[in-house]
Amino acid sequence: MSLYSAQHLRRLRMIVTGGGTGGHTYPALTTITTMRARLADAGTEPELLWVGVPDGLEAKVAARNNVPFRAVITGKLRRTPNPRELVRNIVDAFRIPIGFLQAVLIVARTRPAVVLSTGGYVSVPIGLAARVFGVPCLMHEQTLSVGLANRILARVATRVLLSHEASLEHLPPRARERAVVTGNPIRPEVLAGNPGKAFAAYGLDPGLPLILVTGGAGGAQQVNRMLAGVLTDILPHCQIVHQCGSLSLAEVQQVAAALPPQLAGRYRVADFIHEEMPDLLAAADIVIARSGAGTVAELTALGKAAILIPYPHSAGGEQRVTARHLAAAGAVAMLDGPTATPENLRHEIMTLLSDSHHRATMAHIAAGQGRPDAADRVVAEILAIAAGSGSRSPTQSRRKAS
């Protein structure tokens, strides 16, 4: 940061909005953490306010990380509602104006230098309120296919920050002129995993290929059952750590108990993996996972060979879109719909295990899709806008970020 910028931003006041899911919440948290570290180097710290819904994940995350939090009432308009959701749409239609008025008051009282939105329907009222008061707003999109809330905000945002170059085609034409490809911020600890710690913590053999299987924090029954159908075929060739989720833990433990004794020691099951996840990611030769935005950002930043099984009911089919894009580039193998079978999973695993060159090539292509410095890029855009030096053309910014 230049001396001018450090002085100008000595009292940087910023509103952060976004949440509802981890995919929106954790990129915001990573950006906040990176912002604090950057300004600490200049001898200052930002004045932050996180705006979200009172019962959302963002409220808990903000409290754990000492970020002041303000809740607003808001609503979500469902694009293809069933009869039950139609009633909720009607109720939410009355909540939305209330949330907007609350957002106006928050922006008026806070007087931020800049607003960062990371998506989710809670971000819309604050983003629109920022426009009313002429406050610069940066909108960040984590997925390849731009969500509804961000498609609304893209029309008024000062900067549109994207995780993927391919997302440009999902924006309104005028919004593309203000777009910068930064990547999706990921937790710095993910990039600092220690394979040796993972092998020691789980009693693994460093000389045997390791497959990490995860369906996310909540697990994925589809992934769990596909894996259960192939364990006896693949365990002679590898070892597996499986994050299965609390709801499936008993079922998966039964599968583990039924394994032949000579294979049982090669299969480790956990409902949820905590601090060891970065170490396991570092140690893994292959990762089997869903294709959520955060997962994909981490796997590509690390350059991991992966088999992605998209969640079939993700909003707008965003997981399928992302996995298909990466598979077309050769960065991952994708199993979806009729191809998501135990037989095809066995084939993809054995192909990667038996061909180290193919596995290394996939990992190399994946790394080419990754942006491990995404958080720094997002913070740089925020500081440039807040310091008044955000007038450089977005085309130049996009070219620099790419």
Residue-wise pLDDT tens digits, 358-369: 999 999 999 999
Q: Which of 71-75, 229-233, 394-398 has the lowest mean pLDDT?
A: 394-398
Mean pLDDT of the chain: 90
Superfamily assignment of 189-369 in CATH?
Glycogen Phosphorylase B; (3.40.50.2000)
Among candidate residues 85, 79, 80, the one with its CA nearest the CA of residue 121:
79
pLDDT for 21: 86
- Looking at the chain, the whole-number percentage of residues with pLDDT higher than 90 is 79
Domain 3-186+372-401 -> CATH class: alpha beta
**Spatial strand order in the sheet of 159-162:** 69-71, 47-52, 13-17, 114-117, 137-141, 159-162, 179-181
Question: What's the rounded Cα separation, in Å, for the pair 118 and 382?
Answer: 13
pLDDT for 171: 93
- Ranges of beta strands (E only) in 136-238 are 137-141, 159-162, 179-181, 210-214
Question: What's the rounded Cα separation, in Å, for the pair 172 and 169?
Answer: 8
Assign 215 to helix, strand or coil.
coil
The DSSP code sequence of 110-149 is H--SEEEE--STTHHHHHHHHHHTT--EEEEE-SSSPPHH
Helix, strand and coil percent figures for the chain, each rounded to 5: 55, 15, 35
Model confidence pTM above 0.85: yes
Specify the length of the chain in residues.
Answer: 402
pLDDT for 113: 96
Give me the residue spans of the domains in the chain. Answer: 3-186+372-401, 189-369
Are 3-186+372-401 and 189-369 the same fold in CATH? Answer: yes
